[in-house]
Amino acid sequence: MEFFRQRTDIPFMRHALKFNLFSSLAFVLAVFFIVLRGLNLSVEFTGGTLIEVGYAEPPRIEDIRQALARDGYPDAQVQNFGSAREILIRMPNREDLDTSRISERVMATLQATEGPQPELRRVEFVGPQVGKELATDGAMALLLVIIGIVIYLAMRFEWRFAVSAIIANLHDVIIIVGFFAFFQWEFSLPVLAAVLAVLGYSVNESVVVFDRVRETFKKKRAMDTPAVLDHAITAMISRTVITHGSTLMMVVSMLIFGGETLYYFALALTIGICFGIYSSIFVASPLVMWLGVSREQFIKPKKEKEEAVV
């Protein structure tokens, strides 16, 4: 089987401007929604209590809500989780509540409520001190990834590649976060991990294309820069589609079988992978071109660099 038998190079660079306009638009929209709607941060970031309860048969959510309100938790959010037989109760931290007792009290309330008997499945309580740290740690991790990747790519390739790759892939990250803001999906710690993994993953994609660009520059002396980029992308298109197809199969399998806990994690990865392919081809490569990459940058310094690495 062979999906791609491209004899001639596809002129990606001719449409570079259009793609980048689309990207810029998507980026601006993502930022707009992040600012406007904010993120639906999970209890890990905001602090609070989350209780997951399972029932043998579907309980009446309204009864539970009222029972909790009567028992002193009017701000409790009650919703179904996964199936009608499971419910998730969320409560913000409040000064006047004895936080360490919430889960017991809630369970007592639920047991006293009419209807099927509850089974405690999961409790998560996060104090206000912890949430802030997680946010800073997340930001630090993001910063470390960016710096690390820029340094590595600058050493291994050229600063123009490093800058383009990072810009293209940060744009992916912002777009994923934009999706989470737009749909108000829950942004939890695993989602943060997924976002950072996507950053590494899409840089990986850019690297593969850049590697080919470097090779083409060295081999095909007659080509100008856009032609080199077109040639490299066309040569890699088959691999790009198959690799990401495979990764997507895995991620979609997680989306289907992984249950509620892995759902948003897998979702972030799915969006990230799709945009990762797009941005590597249509964003990173034109950026490299506009930053003024040329053959001369590879031919001379290249020799000693390759030796230095090998």
Partner 1 sequence: MNRYPLWKNALIVLVLLWGLLYTLPNFYGEVPAVQVSSAKATLKLDPASTTDRLNSALREAGLAHTGIFSDATSVRARFADTEQQLRAKDVIEQVFNPDPADPSYVVALNLLSASPNWLTSIKALPMYLGLDLRGGVHFLLEVDMPGALVKRLDSTTGDLRTLMRDKSVRHAGITREGNTVVIRFRDAEQREAGRRAIQDATNDLQLADRDDAADDLKLVATLTAQAQQTMRDFAIKQNITTLHNRINELGVAEPVIQQQGAERIVVQLPGVQDVAKAKDILGRTATLEVRMVDDTPGAVEQALAGNVPFGTELYTERGGAPLLVSRQVVLTGDRLTDAQPGFDGQTNEPAVHLTLDAAGARIFRDVTRESVGKRMAILLFEKGKGEVVTAPVIRSEIGGGRVQISGRMTTAEANDVALLLRAGSLAAPMEIIEERTVGPSLGAENITKGSNSVIWGFLAIAVFMIAYYTLFGLVSVIALTFNLVLLIALLSLLQATLTLPGIAAMALTLGMAIDANVLINERIREELRNGASPQAAISAGYDRSFDTILDANITTLIAGIALLVFGSGPVRGFAVVHCLGILTSMFSAILVSRMIINFIYGRQRKITKLHLGQSAN
Strands (E), 39-138: 40-41, 48-55, 77-81, 83-91, 118-126
263-284 b/e with 16+ CB inside 10 Å = b?
bbbbbbbbbbbebbbbbbbbbb
Minimum Å gap between C-beta 262 and partner 1 is: 5
Per CB under 8 A, the segment of 63-71, 219-227, 232-240, 278-286 that binds partner 1 is 232-240
SS3 254: helix
Strand partners, 120: 53
41-55 b/e with 16+ CB inside 10 Å = b?
bbbbbbbbbbbbbbb
Site for partner 1 in 73-102 (CB under 8 A): 99-100
Q: Is 79 exposed, middle or buried (0-12, 13-18, 19+ CB in 10 A)?
A: exposed
Minimum Å gap between C-beta 57 and partner 1 is: 16
Per CB under 8 A, the segment of 30-38, 71-79, 131-139, 284-292 that binds partner 1 is 131-139
Cα distances from 138 to residues 36, 160, 170, in angstroms, run 21, 27, 15
User: Which of 37, 85, 122, 305 touches partner 1 (CB under 8 A)?
Assistant: 122
The smaller minimum CB distance to partner 1, of residues 25 and 144, is found at 144
Residue 281 in the binding site for partner 1 (CB under 8 A): no
Q: How many CB atoms lie within 10 A of CB 195?
A: 24
The smaller minimum CB distance to partner 1, of residues 36 and 257, is found at 257
User: Which of 29, 34, 193, 223 touches partner 1 (CB under 8 A)?
Assistant: 193
Site for partner 1 in 241-270 (CB under 8 A): 242-243, 245-254, 256-259, 261-262, 265-266, 269
Minimum Å gap between C-beta 111 and partner 1 is: 13
The smaller minimum CB distance to partner 1, of residues 175 and 268, is found at 268
